């Protein structure tokens, strides 16, 4: 029935099933890739071992002595001048592993069944709608790509983020590791701009406590740091990072203290509102009760809480800004406490509030702060026993203590790194292709239309007149595929949408459109004169279509047509529009019905419009070539 405002639930079974299929398909590709790489690694291992034994035999050395010449390739990086693995700066290692874990968590969060359809409506749109026009324009590109290809995009996000996490975890050193950081930064920035509306920094009411400037911006910073050459990891870098952190926290303190933003309110202040809103979302009962208790407290102590936040942010900011090692060392524990408390109590651990796709900003900032502190204080990297002493910047050509097995480990890590890149590529390549395709996937329309009634049978006959007064019968349409539906010319929602979908079919078919007739029969017993149909045609821009008929007739003729096509048309009381069945017949050139589809147009977004047009165009082409 029209006018129901009916869309597709985020957990629509058709979409969820397609999402799961896409995940399994991509997983099989990943497994295949891993198989190939494992095979390659085995071959390389065997040949390397064979070479070693042959070399040992030639030198007359004892079997099993593997202390031959050092390979020119460093242990795990493939980079000739990399220091041994034991010398990866501790701060970098901390950053790499923590953000690897975050990307893995984010990737797993992307597995939520509601994400294909919920990402735009529940994640992207809410922040974008509160942001200025230029942000909405930028975000529109990302939203359109996701909306047009929700299943592909959601599956891609899983593999890209899991892949980045694996890549960071396994690529410890050298170029492969730095590339992982760079890739991580690039993807984080894409997410920050196109999915998180620049972290909401331009939206009113933004606050550090609520996630400003966006979690993924910290991912981008971390990625950028990991992309730096390892020689850059020095106390100087640590000082820079700590000072930057201090400046950032001071800025956040000023923003938090800014008057007129409803943070300075004891009753229903911004903090209480946010916390109570978060606690109302589905989540484990323990977390809910903690957050709800804090919400109750915040409801009566908004001013005190905000004051505390301002003071702590300001104090931490000042402590970090001066970058004195002793002060920073003393400031880190309270910073950890503050960020962790904020993460649990205000941000609801990030992913519990609604359709969470990351753990929000406090946790990544916490990791970034710890890494900065470690870098500043220049804590030494842990060493393996017997590792050669070397500075992080000194070139080293040692194979490490283990000789040939070290080479194999290095090769193994290269293979693992390539596998991780493969996982990223499994997500990224289809997404890149999808972003260039402006036509929405038919899956959206299929989700709305439900199961298609595939049928081959006679089409009910009719004899009606078109908008120009010419008689049109079923037999007069022979030789063309026909898409036939029922529209109310004074409908104010569904029927204009369906008309646009049909217009889209004409555009999508291109030259083939001349073999397809688009037909609507009036579905209003009261407003059925040609004047209404012409007005509707003008309104919807259908007058320029040469293959468009809007048919009407006497009330008796129309009632007969409605009955024959199984369409219910009823006059609703109390100011509502006519209620009628949303249905579309796909008729082949011989006049046989090939498919019967629901023409429920859904929410009418451009994605649904494109998807429907695509679906209907395919159906028309099938009918055209089936005769």
Partner 1 sequence: MSRSGRIPFAASLRSGRAGLLTAGALTALALSAAACSNSPAPASTGTPAEVLRPSLATSLVTKQGTFATVPTTGYWQVLFLASGTARWKLDTPPGVADNGGVVLAPAANAGMLAAFRPSERLTYTPLARKASVTARWRAAGIIESDLESSPAALAAGPGSEYAALLGGGTEARAAGPRTGSATESIQSLRTTLGGAGLTRLTAVVWSSRLRAAVLAGASSRKGVVPVFAGPPGKIALLAAAPRSLQGSTVAVLDLSSGSAALSALLVVSGAHGQVLEAAYLPSGSTSWSVGRPVALPKASDTPLTEPFVEHAGGTGWVYWAGGGAPVDVTTGVNAGWTSYASPPTHTSGLAAAASGDYLQLYAFATRNGSDIVEIYRLESDGWSISQALSVPLALGG
CB nearer to partner 1: give 86 or 467: 467
| Per-residue binding letters, 179-208, with partner 1 (x by CB under 8 A) | ------------------------------
When asked if residue 568 is in the footprint of partner 1 (CB under 8 A), the reply is: no
| DSSP assignment letter at 594 | E
Q: How far is the CB of 600 from partner 1 (least distance, A)?
A: 13
- From CA 95, how far away is CA 161, in angstroms rounded? 16
Q: Which residues, 402 to 461, sit near partner 1 by CB under 8 A? A: none
Q: Is the peptide bond before 599 cis (omega within 30 degrees of 0)?
A: no
Q: Which of 37, 49, 228, 535 binds partner 1 (CB under 8 A)?
A: 535
Give the burial class of 576: count Cβ atoms within 10 A of its Cβ; 0-12 exposed, 13-18 middle, 19 or more buried.
exposed
| Per-residue binding letters, 85-124, with partner 1 (x by CB under 8 A) | ----------------------------------------
Interface with partner 1: number of residues (CB under 8 A) = 31
Q: How far is the CB of 487 from partner 1 (least distance, A)?
A: 12
- From CA 147, how far away is CA 378, in angstroms rounded? 47
Contact criterion met (CB below 8 Å) for 571 and 525: yes
Q: How far is the CB of 523 from partner 1 (least distance, A)?
A: 11
Q: How far is the CB of 573 from partner 1 (least distance, A)?
A: 5
Per-residue burial over 506-528, b = 16 or more CB atoms within 10 Å of its CB, e = otherwise: bebbeeebebbbbbbbbbbbebb
CB nearer to partner 1: give 157 or 578: 578
Interface stretch with partner 1, choices 2-10, 136-144, 318-326, 360-368 (CB under 8 A):
2-10
Q: Give the three-class secondary structure for 402.
A: coil
When asked if residue 60 is in the footprint of partner 1 (CB under 8 A), the reply is: no
Which residues contact residue 625 at a Cβ distance below 8 angstroms, ignoring those fewer than 6 apart?
A: none
Contact criterion met (CB below 8 Å) for 294 and 347: no
CB nearer to partner 1: give 90 or 464: 464
- From CA 470, how far away is CA 477, in angstroms rounded? 13
When asked if residue 573 is in the footprint of partner 1 (CB under 8 A), the reply is: yes
* Neighbouring C-beta atoms of residue 299, cutoff 10 Å: 17
Q: Which of 577, 586, 617, 619 binds partner 1 (CB under 8 A)?
A: 577
| Per-residue binding letters, 475-514, with partner 1 (x by CB under 8 A) | ---------------xxxx--xx-----------------
Q: How far is the CB of 223 from partner 1 (least distance, A)?
A: 45
Contact criterion met (CB below 8 Å) for 29 and 35: no
Pairing mode, strands 481-487 and 516-522: parallel
When asked if residue 356 is in the footprint of partner 1 (CB under 8 A), the reply is: no
When asked if residue 4 is in the footprint of partner 1 (CB under 8 A), the reply is: yes
Beta strands in 139-235 (DSSP E): none
When asked if residue 569 is in the footprint of partner 1 (CB under 8 A), the reply is: no
Chain-centre distance for alpha carbon 338: 30
CB nearer to partner 1: give 510 or 575: 575
When asked if residue 532 is in the footprint of partner 1 (CB under 8 A), the reply is: yes
When asked if residue 469 is in the footprint of partner 1 (CB under 8 A), the reply is: no
- From CA 154, how far away is CA 146, in angstroms rounded? 8
CB nearer to partner 1: give 4 or 429: 4
Contact criterion met (CB below 8 Å) for 489 and 532: yes
CB nearer to partner 1: give 50 or 531: 531
Q: Which residues, 585 to 624, sit near partner 1 by CB under 8 A? A: 604
Q: How far is the CB of 126 from partner 1 (least distance, A)?
A: 23
CB nearer to partner 1: give 355 or 535: 535
174-190 vs 404-435: helix crossing angle, rounded to 10: 20
Q: How far is the CB of 459 from partner 1 (least distance, A)?
A: 28
Which residues contact residue 69 at a Cβ distance below 8 angstroms, ignoring those fewer than 6 apart?
A: none
When asked if residue 290 is in the footprint of partner 1 (CB under 8 A), the reply is: no
CA distances from 620 to 73, 195, 201, 601 (A): 60, 35, 47, 18
> For every residue of 332-355, which 3-state class applies, written as one string?
HHHHHHHHHHHHHHHCCCCCCCCC
Quickly tell me which residue has 């242990």 as its tokens.
75
- From CA 114, how far away is CA 105, in angstroms rounded? 17
- From CA 100, how far away is CA 193, in angstroms rounded? 21
When asked if residue 520 is in the footprint of partner 1 (CB under 8 A), the reply is: no
Interface stretch with partner 1, choices 94-102, 142-150, 513-521, 525-533 (CB under 8 A):
525-533
When asked if residue 349 is in the footprint of partner 1 (CB under 8 A), the reply is: no
| Per-residue binding letters, 119-158, with partner 1 (x by CB under 8 A) | ----------------------------------------
Q: Which of 231, 538, 564, 625 binds partner 1 (CB under 8 A)?
A: 538
CB nearer to partner 1: give 182 or 535: 535
| DSSP assignment letter at 514 | G
Write out the residues near partner 1 by the rule CB under 8 A. Answer: 1-4, 490-493, 496-497, 524-529, 531-532, 535, 538-539, 571-579, 604
């Amino acid at each position: 029935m029209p006018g129901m405002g009916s869309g597709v639930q985020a957990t629509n079974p058709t979409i969820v099933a397609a999402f799961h299929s896409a995940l399994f398909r991509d997983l099989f590709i990943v497994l295949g890739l891993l198989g190939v790489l494992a095979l390659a690694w085995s071959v390389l291992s065997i040949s390397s071992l064979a070479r070693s034994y042959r070399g040992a035999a030639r030198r007359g050395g004892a079997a099993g002595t593997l202390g031959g010449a050092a390979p020119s390739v460093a242990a795990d990086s493939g980079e000739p001048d990399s220091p041994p693995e034991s010398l990866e700066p501790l701060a970098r290692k901390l950053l790499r592993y923590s953000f690897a874990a975050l990307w893995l968590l984010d990737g797993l969060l992307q597995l939520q069944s509601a994400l294909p359809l919920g990402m735009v409506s529940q994640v992207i749109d809410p922040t974008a709608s509160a942001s200025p026009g230029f942000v909405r324009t930028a975000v529109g590109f990302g939203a359109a790509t996701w909306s047009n290809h929700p299943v592909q995009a959601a599956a891609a996000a899983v593999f890209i983020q899991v892949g980045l996490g694996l890549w960071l975890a396994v690529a410890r050193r050298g170029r492969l590791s730095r590339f992982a950081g760079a890739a991580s930064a690039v993807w984080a920035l894409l997410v920050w701009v196109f999915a998180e509306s620049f972290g909401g920094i331009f939206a009113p009411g933004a606050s550090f406590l609520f996630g400003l400037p966006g979690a993924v911006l910290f991912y981008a910073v971390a990625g950028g740091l990991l992309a730096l050459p390892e020689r850059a990891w020095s106390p100087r870098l640590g000082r820079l990072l700590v000072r930057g952190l201090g400046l950032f926290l001071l800025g956040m303190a000023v923003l938090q203290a800014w008057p007129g933003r409803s943070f300075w309110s004891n009753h229903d202040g911004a903090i209480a509102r946010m916390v109570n809103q978060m606690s109302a979302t589905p989540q484990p009962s323990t977390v809910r009760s903690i957050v709800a208790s804090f919400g109750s407290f915040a409801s009566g102590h908004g001013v005190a809480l905000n004051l505390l936040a301002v003071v702590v942010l300001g104090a931490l900011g000042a402590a970090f800004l001066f970058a004195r090692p002793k002060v920073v060392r003393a400031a880190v524990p309270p910073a950890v406490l503050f960020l962790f408390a904020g993460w649990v109590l205000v941000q609801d651990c990030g992913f519990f509030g609604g359709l969470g796709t990351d753990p929000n900003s406090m946790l990544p900032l916490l990791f970034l702060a710890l890494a900065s502190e470690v870098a500043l204080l220049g804590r030494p990297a842990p060493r393996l026993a017997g590792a050669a002493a070397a500075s992080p910047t000194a070139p080293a050509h040692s194979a490490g203590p283990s000789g040939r097995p070290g080479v194999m480990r290095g090769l193994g890590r290269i293979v693992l790194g390539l596998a991780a890149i493969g996982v990223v590529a499994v997500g990224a390549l289809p997404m890149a292709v999808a972003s260039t395709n402006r036509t929405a996937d038919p899956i959206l329309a299929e989700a709305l239309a439900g199961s298609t009634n595939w049928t081959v049978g006679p089409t009910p006959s009719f004899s009606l007149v078109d908008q120009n007064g010419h008689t049109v019968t079923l037999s007069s349409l022979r030789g063309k595929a026909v898409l036939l539906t029922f529209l109310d010319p004074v409908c104010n929602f569904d029927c204009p949408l369906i008309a646009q979908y049909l217009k889209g079919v004409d555009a999508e078919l291109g030259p083939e459109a001349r073999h397809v007739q688009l037909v609507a029969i009036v579905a209003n017993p009261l407003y059925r004169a040609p004047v209404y149909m012409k007005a509707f045609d003008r309104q919807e821009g259908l007058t320029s279509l040469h293959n468009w008929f809007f048919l009407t007739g006497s009330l008796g003729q129309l009632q007969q047509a409605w009955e024959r096509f199984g369409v219910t048309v009823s006059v609703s009381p109390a100011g509502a529009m006519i209620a009628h069945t949303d249905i579309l017949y796909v008729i082949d050139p011989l006049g046989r019905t090939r498919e019967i589809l629901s023409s429920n147009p859904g929410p009418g977004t451009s994605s649904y419009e494109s998807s429907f047009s695509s679906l209907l165009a395919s159906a028309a082409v099938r009918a055209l070539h089936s005769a």
